């Protein structure tokens, strides 16, 4: 691991031997034109991760570099980057929110990142970043037949390192967001929800409460951006947080997570759909209605009853997430997260068999070459999500599809499984 990190630092120093020159184009584009100070945290970390990932940085090293650069950025006086007030109908409200010129402030962040990285290339830390305790994550997503891709996802085994969480309990965070009416809400949630989660005081003691509050806070943050920029999109979301020997799942809408334990599918959650009896009752109690227009919809509009965004239909489309926590016993195979584009075409009970078959399929020689058997198995594991996505498309899904598998035991143990597939309710 140290050799890989040193190799990356050397390559990076050759490409960026000094700070970016004023006026030169940024090597990675900011997500927004203007940001609040709170949004600066998530957008800077995302920008740094994208820059480093595109150059092959090890994930653990990337997380530590981004956190160090952000910490330095926040020590600066950011008042020179405050936006001038723009005349308009919302001027009085905007005076309450300080907005920063994103490109200018992100240039400072990227220069801090370059400075930190150059420092590490010359003086490598005595305690290099530890490897992730989680074995493999396989992710694949496609636009499919839709005009636009509105799904976003995030796999963050280095949660503590990226977000500066000071705890001996390492957290790993995985999320899938399925946008509708545009990708803005999904992008926003993928950029900010994990940051909001890291700031919850209850994170170490009550993960369920922390996740619910992080969803709510992200929805409130997006409301401000949607109002400023006249955005109308929304997104469902499912988040898995692994902490100590607990796996917590929080969700809004019909994206889902499922666990496979000993080759058996375990139901963790019930997606929020308008025709779910308790969701229908909640909407009707608020004065809304559930109608069938090709599918069941809230007030004849959205096909989900809970989401981040969709402010024209709040509170009927609720921003309150549900959460369940499961104790990990050590015999878990993997957890799968996916949007409705997958689960509308594939039954959860089919998943264990599909994954087993994908793992047993011989690796493409072009993928592994002369690699040893262990690396060959790794390559097979990384392809699993791709094969599940292909299966959902062949089964009739025309929607965007995103599938993420987080393996919780060595892949060679899963390849040898011969369990009878079945679904069990936890």
- At 260 the pLDDT is 96
3-class DSSP state for residue 18?
Answer: coil
- At 95 the pLDDT is 54
- At 88 the pLDDT is 54
- At 85 the pLDDT is 72
- At 87 the pLDDT is 58
Cβ burial, residue 126 (10 Å; 0-12/13-18/19+) = exposed
Q: What is the mean pLDDT of residues 73-97?
A: 75
Q: What is the mean pLDDT of residues 110-130?
A: 87
Q: What is the mean pLDDT of residues 206-211?
A: 96
Alpha-carbon distances of 201 from 163, 209, 251, 314, rounded to whole Å: 14, 10, 20, 27
Q: Tell me: pLDDT of 217 over 90.
A: yes
SS (H, E, C) 61-126: HHHHHHHHHHHHHCCCCCHHHECCCCCCCCHHHHCCCCEEEHHHHHHHHHHHHHHHHHHHHHCCCC
pLDDT per position as a tens digit, 353-394: 999 999 988 666 554 444 344 444 556 677 999 999 999 999
Q: What is the mean pLDDT of residues 70-99?
A: 79
Output the average pLDDT for the chain. 90
212: CB partners within 8 A, 6+ apart: 250, 320, 321, 322, 323
Q: What is the mean pLDDT of residues 9-33?
A: 94
- At 374 the pLDDT is 45
Cis status, amide bond into 323, omega within 30 of 0: no
- At 368 the pLDDT is 40
Domains along the chain with CATH numbers: 2-122 (no CATH), 136-425 (3.60.40.10)
pLDDT per position as a tens digit, 392-421: 999 999 999 999 999 998 887 787 665 554
pLDDT per position as a tens digit, 234-267: 999 999 999 989 999 999 999 999 999 999 999 9
Q: What is the mean pLDDT of residues 147-153?
A: 97
pLDDT per position as a tens digit, 297-339: 999 999 999 999 999 999 999 999 999 999 999 999 999 999 9
Q: What is the mean pLDDT of residues 151-164?
A: 95
Give the bridge partners for 253, in sequence order.
none
């Amino acid at each position: 691991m140290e050799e890989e990190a040193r190799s990356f630092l050397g390559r990076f120093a050759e490409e960026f031997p000094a700070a970016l020159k004023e006026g030169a184009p940024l090597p990675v584009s900011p997500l927004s034109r203007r940001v609040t100070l709170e949004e600066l945290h998530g957008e800077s970390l995302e920008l740094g991760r994208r820059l480093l990932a595109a150059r092959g940085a090890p994930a653990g090293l990337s997380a530590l570099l981004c956190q160090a650069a952000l910490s330095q950025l926040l020590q600066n006086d950011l008042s020179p980057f405050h936006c001038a007030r723009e005349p308009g109908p919302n001027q009085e409200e905007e005076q309450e929110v300080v907005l920063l010129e994103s490109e200018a402030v992100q240039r400072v962040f990227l220069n801090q990142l370059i400075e930190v990285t150059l420092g590490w290339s010359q003086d490598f830390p005595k305690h290099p970043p530890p490897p992730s305790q989680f074995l493999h994550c396989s992710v694949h997503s496609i636009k499919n037949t839709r005009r636009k891709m509105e799904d976003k996802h995030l796999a963050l085994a280095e949660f503590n390192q990226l977000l500066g969480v000071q705890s001996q309990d390492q957290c790993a965070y995985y999320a899938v967001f399925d946008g509708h009416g545009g990708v803005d809400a999904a992008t926003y949630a993928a950029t900010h929800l994990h940051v909001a989660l890291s700031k919850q005081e209850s994170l170490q003691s009550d993960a369920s409460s922390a996740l619910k509050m992080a969803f709510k806070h992200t929805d409130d943050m997006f409301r401000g951006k949607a109002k400023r920029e006249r955005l109308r999109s929304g997104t469902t979301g499912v988040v898995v947080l692994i902490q100590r020997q607990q796996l917590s799942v929080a969700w809004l809408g019909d994206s889902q997570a499922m666990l496979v334990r000993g080759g058996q599918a375990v139901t963790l959650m019930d997606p929020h759909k308008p025709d779910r009896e308790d969701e229908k009752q909640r909407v009707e109690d608020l004065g809304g209605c559930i109608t069938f227009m090709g599918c069941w919809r809230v007030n004849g509009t959205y096909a989900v009853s809970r989401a981040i965004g969709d402010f024209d239909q709040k509170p009927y489309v609720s921003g309150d997430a549900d959460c369940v926590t499961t104790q990990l016993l050590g015999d878990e195979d993997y957890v799968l997260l996916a949007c409705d584009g997958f689960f509308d075409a594939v039954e959860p009970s089919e998943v264990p068999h599909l994954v087993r078959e994908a793992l047993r399929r011989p690796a493409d020689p072009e993928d592994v070459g002369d690699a040893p058997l262990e690396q060959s198995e790794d390559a097979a594991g990384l392809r699993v999500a791709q094969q599940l996505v292909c299966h959902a498309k062949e089964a009739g899904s025309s929607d965007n599809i995103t599938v993420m598998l987080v393996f919780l035991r060595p892949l060679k143990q899963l390849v040898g499984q011969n369990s009878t597939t079945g679904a069990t309710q936890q």
